[in-house]
Chain A
Amino acid sequence: MSGVSLLVQPVWLILLPLVGSIMVFLLASRRAAVGVAVVAGNLALVAGSIGRLGITGPWQHSVGGWGAPLGIDLYLDGLSATMLAMTALVSLGISAYSAAYFSAAAARHFWPLWLLLLTAMNALFLSRDLFNLYVTLELVGIAAVALTAMRGQREALVAAMRYLLTTLLGSMSYLLGVALLYHSTGSVDMVLVGEAPIPASVAAAAFALMAVGLLLKTALFPFHFWLPGAHSSASAPVSAALSALVVKVGFYILLRLWIEVFPALGDGVAWLLGILGGVAVLWGSLQAILQQRAKMLVAYSTVAQLGYFFLALPLVAAGGSRVWGAIVLLVIAHALAKAAMFMAAGNLLAFAGHDRIRDLDRVVQRMPLTAAALGLAGVSIMGLPPSGGFSGKWLLLQASLEQGNWPIALVLLLGGVLAAVYVFKLLEHIFTSGTPLGEPRAVARTMEWAPLMLAIGAIVLGFLATTTLDFLIIGEPFVPGRRDDY
């Protein structure tokens, strides 16, 4: 294997952040610099593998040299490459922000955990093995909990504890599902399990267990109770990472299961999750409107936006890969916009010492870049043009009207309006002069530029919608069965 092709191996996506994490752990100083360098390297690697994907099509790597049923396969197709790109971009923004955000003492704990979280997410997006997904899922969960608890305040610890219990419950339920599938098909590789004949009742039970496990981790409506506490009490970059990336991981695996492992999925499940998604959109938005603190508002906005991904599931049966494309577009737009919003809210908190929305007036006048970041991110969250959120919303609206599915169209529109209410509740105080409260502390430049760049990314995604959608379907991720033509 020539040098270059060795380097461009997507396996490095797992190894580089891991090595980086160990180095940062052992280093005595300059952790932030090394951390940001590693994340930048990760972005370069993702870009390389995307280029390679474009040329030679999907990439498979059986670890350990053994075939699928025996060994574990890593697989890179359009969908996983897109998710890797999303993770790389957002984590670069978050790392740049964290370099300036954390004090030396806190940085000591942050960087090793953060780089391990990145390793876990990269490993998860590359893996097609159900049990391996369990291990990576656990890695992501524990890293996220550790990062949340790292801050040490009272409500951060309680929230982290609740988050840990939920994520462990989810993992256990997921693992039991995997056990059932393994014993009835003799393999844990997604595609092989999908193709193997499974008795209907076993498939139903396995799907139920795995789906509940993943929904617990994705915080869909009835299981969203742990999210606001965890996402708002964690430190700004961590809550940005949680809301933008960690929550999407559960949905990604559910999507893979939906397509590869359970092709015989009936429309009843789609409707059930669709209803839960709709309720999540409305309930999350209502709660977000009622919040008094900026970070809680943004956290509940995550609960609402997650609902959109599930709301669109009933359209998938007839809509096919176009609807999946729209959902993934929404996932990416939300990741960029939400990370920007949380970091901007973090700036507000750092600047004024509090994030009570009513008293934000005076604060935001003096941070134009943060205000711009909040504004642009809000545009994407509301689904107003020209943002990525708008493109996704337009495609979903189009699909729902084509299939005559009026309830979904109405919830999509109502969600947009409710989002406008709570985004402008936050933005309103940017343009009004209020009474000064205490002496604000200046915020570092990179802490203002990082959210702005991510917010601009969310807007630019709107213009790149078509290229993203074309890139997404390389290797037909939305069609069951493995493509062996690479």
Chain B
Amino acid sequence: MIISPAFSSTLPLALVASSLLPGLIIFALAEESVRLRTALNLLGALSKLLLVALMLWGVYHDAAFETRFELLPGLPLILRADALSLLFITLSAQLWFLTTIYAVGYLEESPHRSRFFGFFSLCVTATVGVAMAGNLLTFILFYEMLTLSTYPLVVHRGTPVARRAGEAYLLYTVLGGVLLLLGAVWLYTLTGTLEFRPQGIVSDLDVGDHKALIIIFVLLMGGLGVKAALLPLHGWLPKAMVAPAPVSALLHAVAVVKAGAFGIVRVVYDIFGIQFAATLGVMMPLAWLASATIIYGSVRALFQDDLKRRLAYSTVSQVSYIALGVALVGPIASVGGLVHLVHQGLMKITLFFCAGNLAETLGIHRISEMNGVARRMPWTMAAFTVASLGMIGVPPVAGFISKWYLGLGAMEVGADWVLLVLAGSSALNALYFLPILYRAWFLEPEGDWPQERHYPRAETSLALLIPPVITASLALAAGLLASVPFSPQEWAKLVVVREFLDP
């Protein structure tokens, strides 16, 4: 598969620009030019999907896409599309496209939409940048850009509650950023390079540095753990649910949280190298921390009456599956962790879309108000049901696949206690998802809905209905047709093969 070098070096830039340029133009647009803004958004999303498809095909045939730019002396800015980054980019590209449609429908006549969509595009740019970062410096650059572009979305509503949520969000992410920066610079002074390489770049350091490497690992995990919502650093996620639905859907369920998890995967694979990290002895604590987060998230989710907060705590626990998958030092567990990165994205975004629909169409925010809602909005609740079953791990929805591989990986490595964690977490998931389904499908609604809005053609506006249905069917397809080439599971296997096996 021959791709001309010029073309292969500009493709990563084109991918970043495909959401950056529309974003900047949208900032300048007047509030009323809705059609132009939507057109720009969709154009950006479609061009990104196209570029991603092209790159998927290229990387599948071992082509290399890389752009270098000298940022600091000895530290270039590298944008490189390899198998691992494409896994994340494909997810965010697809979901950005759907969320744009959803957001257009959701923010029908609310104020500051140019500002919203401008920052929305910047967030996706940052997410794609995080995915394609070729070294830790570029990663930090886009990681901080993600913080800066998501903050305005968290406080978009402008209410004092939103402002406090924004403060909490900033507190965590800025401190996380500082930890990450300290770790990165210290690592740079030891290794002299921060470039991601499959077997890591620290294995050849002498033993004297191992203690420093452990501290650096802790610093990096602290920095990344904030966005990946690991246990002590997850406080901001439930508070950030005050943001509008499309924000909590794409950002807090997919882009921001996944950036943290993706960062953990990158650092463990391409900075420390999975074998070296195991010898350092840092993998087991990470596995314990991830497991603790899984259980803690689910326990806390049990008692949230607000639907979005319950989903937020569920995200806290689900994202740690990825960390767990990486921490279990085995190829099969890694496949499980990586594939969950995609599956959880698909399932969780469906749940948040449905939550947004309920809030937007019927004014329902709390689970106690959801009695018999399936009667009024069957399609939305059908999507919600599929996604919830997926979260519990019921086949044939995608969640089962990741739990299957995680279970297998644990067995392969001999960490049987992980099976218990998985089982416990699935049980807890069932405990907090099934009552919602039961209440929605089998109970009669008491009285009328808080703020009901009627739509001519379907239960709610099509722009709000179609995305969740699509993502639900995607989740189902990812599970049912898991072994189709270019499916998330197959691509995760490809990534693991490239990361683990060839040197």
Residue from the set B72, B77, B174 with the largest chain A CB neighbour count within 10 Å: B72
Interface status of B159 (Cβ within 8 A of chain A): yes
A417 touches B175 (CB 8 A): yes
B274 touches A (CB below 8 Å): no
Partner of A431, one of B27, B73, B147, B166: B166
How many interface contacts (CB-CB < 8 Å) are there between A and B?
83
The reply to whether A431 and B152 form a contact with Cβ atoms under 8 Å apart is: yes
Is B178 within 8 A of A413, CB to CB?
Answer: yes
With a cutoff of 8 Å between Cβ atoms, the chain A residues found around residue B115 in the complex are 368
Residue in B27, B159, B170 whose CB lies within 8 Å of A432: B159
Are B182 and A413 neighbours in the complex by a CB distance under 8 Å? yes
Once bound together, how far apart are the Cα atoms of A284 and B346, in whole Å?
Answer: 47
Decide yes or no whether A469 CB sits under 8 A from chain B: yes
Question: Which residues in window 82-131 of B have CB below 8 A to A?
Answer: 112, 115
A465 and B72 contacting across the interface, CB-CB below 8 Å? yes
User: Would you call B188 and A432 a contact (CB within 8 A)?
Assistant: no
Q: Which residues of B contact A384 (CB under 8 A)?
A: 144, 147-148, 177
Interface membership of A416, Cβ < 8 A: yes
Neighbouring A residues of B178 by C-beta, 8 Å: 413, 416-417
Contact B181 A413 (CB under 8 A): yes
Using Cβ atoms and an 8 Å threshold, which residues of chain A touch B73?
Answer: 322, 465-466, 469
Cβ B71 vs Cβ A466 within 8 A: yes
Q: Name the prevailing secondary structure of the B interface residues.
A: helix
Q: CA A102 – CA B442 in complex, angstroms?
A: 71
Does the CB pair A398–B170 fall under 8 Å? no
CA–CA, A462 and B140, complex, Å: 14
User: C-beta contact mask, B7-48 vs A, less than 8 Å → 1, else 0?
Assistant: 000000000000000000001000000000000000000000
Smallest CB gap from A428: residue in B: B163
Partner of B170, one of A386, A391, A420: A420
Task: Report if A271 contacts B (CB, 8 A).
Answer: no
Q: Mark A463-483, 1 if CB is under 8 A from B, else 0.
A: 101100100000000000000
Interface status of A29 (Cβ within 8 A of chain B): no
**By the criterion CB–CB under 8 Å, are A401 and B189 in contact?**
yes
Q: A397-B182, A424-B170, A432-B162 are in contact. Are A368 and B27 (CB under 8 A)?
A: yes
A391 contacts which chain B residues (CB < 8 A)? 71-72
A401 touches B160 (CB 8 A): no
Query: Assuming the A-B contacts A384-B177, A401-B186, A401-B189, are A431 and B155 also in contact, with contact meaning beta carbons closer than 8 angstroms in the complex?
Result: yes
- Other-chain contact of A466, B72, B152, B175, B177 (Cβ < 8 Å): B72
- Which residues of B, 178-232, contact A by the 8 Å Cβ criterion? 178, 181-182, 185-186, 188-189
B158, A463: Cβ atoms closer than 8 Å: no
Q: What mask results when residues 215 to 258 of chain B are scored 1 for a CB within 8 Å of chain A, else 0?
A: 00000000000000000000000000000000000000000000
CA distance A402 to B74 in the complex (A): 15
A306 interface residue per 8 A CB criterion: no
Residues of B close to A118: CB separation below 8 A: none
Complex formed: what's the CA distance from A413 to B166 in Å? 21
Is A401 touching B158 in the complex (CB atoms < 8 A)? no
- Tell me if A25 is interfacial: C-beta within 8 Å of chain B: no
CA–CA, A182 and B345, complex, Å = 73
Q: Is B459 an interface residue (CB 8 A)?
A: no
Instruction: Tell me which of B70, B71, B170, B182 has the highest count of chain A C-beta atoms within 10 A of its own C-beta.
Output: B71
Chain A's closest residue to B114 (CB) is A368
- Looking across the interface, which residue of chain B has its beta carbon closest to that of A424? B170
Please determine whether B166 and A398 come into contact, CB atoms closer than 8 angstroms: no
CA distance A390 to B167 in the complex (A): 22
Q: Pick the residue among A386, A398, A402, A465 that contacts B141 (CB under 8 A).
A: A386
A409 to chain B, nearest CB (A): 7
Residue of A nearest to B76 (CB): A466
Within 8 A of B (CB), among A408-442: 409, 413, 416-417, 420, 424, 428, 431-433
Chain B positions within 8 Å of A48 at CB level: none
Is A47 in contact with chain B by the CB < 8 A criterion? no
Interface residue ranges of B265-286 to A (CB < 8 Å): none
CB-CB under 8 A for A420 and B181, given A431-B155, A432-B160: no
- A342-386 residues with Cβ-Cβ distance < 8 A to B are 365, 368, 372, 375, 379, 384-386
Which B residues are in CB contact (< 8 Å) with A416?
Answer: 178, 181
- B80 within 8 Å of A by Cβ? no
Residues of A within 8 A of B72 (CB): 391, 394-395, 465-466
Contact B156 A465 (CB under 8 A): no
Residues of B within 8 A of A465 (CB): 71-73
- The complex places the Cα of A110 from the Cα of B70 at a distance, in Å, of 42
A385 contacts B185, C-beta separation under 8 Å = no
Q: How far is the CB of B128 from chain A (nearest CB, A)?
A: 15
Q: Does B289 contact A (CB under 8 A)?
A: no
Return chain B residues, CB-CB under 8 Å to A365.
112
Please give me the residue from chain B that is nearest to A322 by CB atom: B73
Question: Is A398 in contact with B174, judged by CB distance below 8 angstroms?
Answer: no
Contact A409 B182 (CB under 8 A): yes
Question: Could you tell me if B159 and A385 are in contact, using CB atoms closer than 8 angstroms?
Answer: no
In Å, the complex CA distance between A206 and B163 comes to: 54
Contacts of B155 in A (CB 8 A): 428, 431-432
Please tell me if the beta carbons of A385 and B156 are within 8 angstroms of each other in the complex. no
Chain A residues with Cβ under 8 A from B159's Cβ? 432-433
Which chain B residue shows the least CB distance to A465? Answer: B72
Contact of A385 among B140, B162, B166, B186 (CB under 8 A): B140
CB distance from B145 to the nearest CB of A (A): 7
CA–CA, A241 to B177, complex, Å?
A: 32
Which parts of A322-336 form the interface with B (CB within 8 Å)?
322
Given contacts A386-B145, A432-B155, contact A401 B27 (CB under 8 A): no
Chain A residue numbers with a CB within 8 Å of B177 are 384
* Chain A residues in 8 Å Cβ range of B167: 424, 428
Cα-based distance from A391 to B69 in the complex (angstroms): 14
Which residues on the A side are within 8 Å of B160 (C-beta)?
432
A419 to chain B, nearest CB (A): 10
Interface centre among A398, A417, A462 (most CB of B within 10 A): A398
A462 CB contacts on chain B under 8 angstroms: 71
How distant is the Cα of A409 from the Cα of B73 in the complex, in angstroms? 20
User: Which residue of chain A has its CB nearest to the CB of B119?
Assistant: A431
Q: Do residues B185 and A401 form an inter-chain contact, with CB atoms below 8 A? A: yes
Interchain CB contact (< 8 A) of A398 among B27, B162, B175, B189? B189
A343-B145 Cα distance, complex, nearest whole Å: 24
Contacts of A420 in B (CB 8 A): 170, 174
Select the residue from A322, A372, A385, A402 with max chain B CB neighbours within 10 A. Answer: A385
A417/B188 in contact, CB under 8 A: no
A311 to chain B, nearest CB (A): 16
- Note all chain A residues with C-beta closer than 8 A to B69: 463
When C-beta atoms are compared, the residue in chain A nearest to B147 turns out to be: A384
Question: A385, B170: Cβ atoms under 8 Å?
Answer: no
Measured between beta carbons, the chain B residues less than 8 angstroms from A469 are 73
Give A281 Cβ to nearest chain B Cβ, in Å.
14
Report A242 CB to chain B, min CB distance, Å. 28
Q: Across the interface, which residues of B come within 8 angstroms of A431, CB to CB? A: 151-152, 155-156, 158, 163, 166
The 8 A CB mask of B352-366 against A (1 = contact, 0 = none) is 000000000000000
Asked if residues A417 and B141 are in contact (CB atoms below 8 Å), the reply is no
User: How far apart are the CA atoms of A391 and B158 in the complex, in Å?
Assistant: 33
Interface residues of A (CB under 8 A from B): 322, 365, 368, 372, 375, 379, 384-386, 390-391, 394-395, 397-398, 401-402, 409, 413, 416-417, 420, 424, 428, 431-433, 462-463, 465-466, 469
- Give 8 A-B contacts (CB < 8 Å), ordered by A residue: A384-B144, A413-B182, A424-B170, A428-B155, A431-B151, A431-B166, A432-B158, A433-B159
Supplied contacts A417-B174, A417-B175, A424-B167, 11 more A-B pairs, CB within 8 Å: A384-B148, A428-B166, A428-B167, A431-B151, A431-B156, A432-B160, A432-B162, A463-B69, A463-B77, A465-B71, A465-B72
Report, nearest first, the 5 A-B pairs whose CB atoms are least far apart.
A385-B141, A433-B158, A431-B155, A432-B158, A397-B185
